[in-house]
């Protein structure tokens, strides 16, 4: 058996680690990755120390079968060096987390070789996939003109780069892709007025890193919603008993379908068992969209140590249970969730408290502002940019694009491969985005998996997907 893994980011690491835990001997695995950040992907390559892992260690393990794997790798010394007092957890620079991914991948490859596997990494991009004459295997062609046969092909190419919604590409002062911030922010003059396009986690990274570099000019977060991510609370170690994959699967077997009301019922049961009011919690969510950003940050920072489990349960379940449940929901229920996509993303993917505190300081000093209702951003003829939003026009010198690509969007570099997969009948495009395998030899891991949720895959979500796929391949 020869497994070909296309892409060498976190999803590939999770799959290799899970394969190494199996018992299959004497197989072969080839990883194709043309980029320079092997095993780290776009998110965890070398960058500024201000670019932090955005979650506590308990949910950052790439090992699907062991939530303590990352914490064990950190160890007590590194954990103490990076302890965040607000969260009560170690928060490390993403580049250090990239070292964890790299060591995990190399350890997994060594374990596979010890069981007689042949392993190799090919530093060339896969540009085409075709069937062999007999149809049982797949031929992969790389940009260097070589061909390789595989029995199973796993596509885990990650997400694309930010979309240029406002057509600013090529304009002086426009930063189309902020990462790595160590490179892109070095070119931003210290007194420049900066518009950060977007208000999600990438936008927070940009603002916090500008401040860490001593930027003195005004900074504005400009977006359609103006809604900032929620703020992480200290982990409590609560174990979900109702809102779990097992309970959702039981509902599917019992009723043949799972609805949004079913999921709400499981959340209600989780909260009521803990003595919390479901109606009070859900009633607070929608009004948060109209709450002034600084006030919401201040309120949520004050609740970092609050013992209520409601927000913690919803955040964890959104990433662990959500990808599984989403595919079971009827389309009208999915559309109900899509109408609140920005709020759902803000709640499910919160920022770490240390970043929230940094934003609050910038708000208090008047250096940071938020402009919502943005409908147009254009390059000005005299230089810089004009931003038009609900609060009027804003003039800035620099515009940094922090709007992430939709999870199911095909990255530009992967388009030739995806085209051939479809032409060969190995895969099909899902109506709502992403790629659906049409052949048992093809597997899609991560955000490109067709029909997935609008919430970008988290590390625990990737680890769970990788463990399930490894079970199939090891079977």
Query: Residue 20 in contact with residue 119, Cβ under 8 Å?
Result: no
Cα 364 from Cα 305, distance rounded (Å): 23
Supply the pTM of this predicted model.
0.91
Query: Residue 467 in contact with residue 12, Cβ under 8 Å?
Result: no
The pLDDT value recorded for residue 392 is 85
- Burial (CB < 10 A; 0-12, 13-18, 19+), residue 24, is middle
**How many CB atoms neighbour CB 261 within 10 A?**
8
Helix/strand/coil for 270: helix
The pLDDT value recorded for residue 324 is 85
Query: Residue 413 in contact with residue 124, Cβ under 8 Å?
Result: no
Cα 345 from Cα 111, distance rounded (Å): 37
Cα 47 from Cα 36, distance rounded (Å): 14
Residues with Cβ within 8 Å of 339's Cβ and at least 6 positions away in sequence, in order, are none
Residues with Cβ within 8 Å of 128's Cβ and at least 6 positions away in sequence, in order, are 140, 141, 416, 417, 420
Residues with Cβ within 8 Å of 110's Cβ and at least 6 positions away in sequence, in order, are none
Q: HSE-up of 81 (CA within 13 Å, CB side)? A: 8
Tokens describing residue 186: 């070095």
Per-residue pLDDT tens digits for 129-184? 998 876 679 999 999 999 999 999 999 998 778 889 999 999 999 999 999 999 99
Query: Residue 23 in contact with residue 474, Cβ under 8 Å?
Result: yes
Per-residue pLDDT tens digits for 13-23? 999 999 999 98
349: nearest Cα among 43, 41, 28:
43
Tokens describing residue 347: 């709640």
Helix/strand/coil for 467: helix
Query: Residue 288 in contact with residue 231, Cβ under 8 Å?
Result: no
Q: Looking at 207-294, which runs of residues are DSSP E strands?
A: 219-222
Cα 146 from Cα 40, distance rounded (Å): 25
Query: Residue 140 in contact with residue 2, Cβ under 8 Å?
Result: no
Cα 176 from Cα 398, distance rounded (Å): 11
The pLDDT value recorded for residue 287 is 66
Query: Residue 70 in contact with residue 60, Cβ under 8 Å?
Result: yes
Query: Residue 195 in contact with residue 399, Cβ under 8 Å?
Result: yes
Cα 205 from Cα 404, distance rounded (Å): 13
52: nearest Cα among 91, 99, 5:
91
Q: What is the DSSP letter of 351?
A: B
Query: Residue 161 in contact with residue 177, Cβ under 8 Å?
Result: yes
Query: Residue 312 in contact with residue 238, Cβ under 8 Å?
Result: yes
Query: Residue 108 in contact with residue 13, Cβ under 8 Å?
Result: yes
Q: Looking at 47-151, which runs of residues are DSSP E strands?
A: 83-84, 89-90, 118-122, 126-131, 138-142, 147-150
282: nearest Cα among 263, 298, 306, 299:
263
Cα 360 from Cα 445, distance rounded (Å): 37
Cα 207 from Cα 199, distance rounded (Å): 10
Distances (CA, A) of 243 to 59, 261, 455, 468: 17, 12, 18, 19
**How many CB atoms neighbour CB 198 within 10 A?**
24
Tokens describing residue 81: 């060096």
Residues with Cβ within 8 Å of 389's Cβ and at least 6 positions away in sequence, in order, are 222, 371, 372, 373, 374, 375
228: nearest Cα among 248, 258, 249, 207:
207
Among all chains, which residue has been given the structure tokens 């999770």? 14
DSSP-assigned states of every residue in 403-455 = -PPPTTPPPGGGHHHHHHHHHTTSEEE-TTSSEEE-STTEEE-STTBTT--SS
The pLDDT value recorded for residue 5 is 98
Encode the chain (475 residues) as per-residue pLDDT tens digits: 999 999 999 999 999 999 999 989 999 999 999 988 899 988 899 999 999 999 889 889 999 888 899 999 999 999 999 999 889 999 999 999 999 999 999 999 999 999 999 999 999 999 999 988 766 799 999 999 999 999 999 999 987 788 899 999 999 999 999 999 999 999 999 999 999 999 999 999 999 999 999 999 999 999 998 999 999 999 888 889 999 999 999 999 998 889 999 999 999 999 999 999 999 998 888 766 678 899 999 999 999 999 999 999 998 888 778 888 988 999 999 999 888 888 888 888 899 999 999 999 999 999 999 999 999 999 999 999 999 988 789 999 999 999 988 777 888 888 999 999 999 999 999 887 888 999 999 999 988 888 777 777 788 888 988 999 999 998 7
């Amino acid at each position: 058996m020869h497994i070909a893994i296309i892409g060498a980011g976190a999803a590939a690491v999770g799959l290799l680690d899970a394969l190494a835990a199996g018992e299959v001997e004497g197989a072969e695995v080839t990883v194709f990755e043309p980029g320079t950040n092997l095993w780290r992907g776009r998110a965890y390559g070398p960058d500024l120390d201000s670019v932090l892992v955005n979650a506590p260690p308990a949910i950052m393990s790439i090992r699907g079968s062991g939530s303590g794997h990352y914490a064990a790798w950190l160890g007590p010394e590194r954990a103490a060096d990076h302890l965040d007092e607000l969260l009560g957890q170690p928060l490390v620079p993403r580049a250090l987390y990239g070292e964890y991914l790299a060591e995990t991948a190399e350890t997994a490859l060594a374990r596979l070789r010890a069981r007689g596997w042949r392993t190799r990494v090919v530093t060339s991009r896969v540009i085409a996939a075709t069937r062999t004459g007999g149809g049982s295997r797949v031929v992969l062609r790389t940009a260097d003109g070589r061909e390789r046969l595989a029995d199973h092909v796993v596509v885990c190419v990650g997400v694309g780069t930010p979309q240029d919604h406002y057509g600013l590409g090529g304009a002086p002062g426009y930063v189309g892709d902020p990462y790595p911030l160590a490179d892109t922010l070095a070119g931003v003059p210290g007194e420049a007025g900066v518009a950060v396009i977007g208000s999600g986690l990438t936008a927070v990274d940009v603002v916090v890193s500008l401040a860490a570099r001593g930027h003195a000019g005004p900074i504005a977060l400009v977006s359609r919603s103006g809604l900032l991510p929620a703020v992480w609370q200290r982990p409590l170690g609560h174990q979900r008993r109702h809102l779990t994959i097992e309970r959702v699967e039981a509902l599917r077997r019992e009723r043949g379908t799972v609805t949004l009301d079913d999921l709400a019922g499981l959340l209600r049961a989780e909260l009521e068992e803990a003595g919390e009011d479901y109606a009070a919690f859900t009633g607070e969510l929608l009004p948060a969209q109209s709450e002034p950003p600084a006030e919401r940050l201040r309120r949520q920072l004050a609740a970092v140590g609050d013992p209520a489990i409601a927000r913690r349960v919803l955040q964890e379940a959104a990433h662990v249970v959500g990808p599984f449940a989403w595919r079971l929901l009827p389309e009208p229920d999915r559309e109900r969730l899509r109408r609140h996509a920005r709020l759902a993303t803000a709640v499910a993917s919160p920022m770490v408290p240390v970043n929230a505190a940094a934003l609050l300081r910038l708000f208090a000093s008047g250096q940071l502002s938020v402009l919502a209702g943005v409908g147009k951003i254009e390059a000005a003829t005299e230089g810089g940019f004009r931003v038009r939003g609900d609060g009027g026009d804003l003039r800035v010198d620099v515009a940094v694009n922090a709007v992430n690509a939709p999870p199911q969007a095909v990255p530009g570099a992967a388009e030739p491969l995806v085209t051939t997969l479809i032409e060969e009948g190995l895969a099909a495009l899902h109506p709502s985005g992403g790629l659906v395998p049409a052949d048992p030899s093809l597997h899609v891991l991560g955000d490109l998996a067709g029909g997935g949720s609008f919430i970008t895959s988290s590390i625990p979500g990737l680890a769970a997907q990788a463990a399930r796929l490894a079970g199939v391949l090891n079977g």
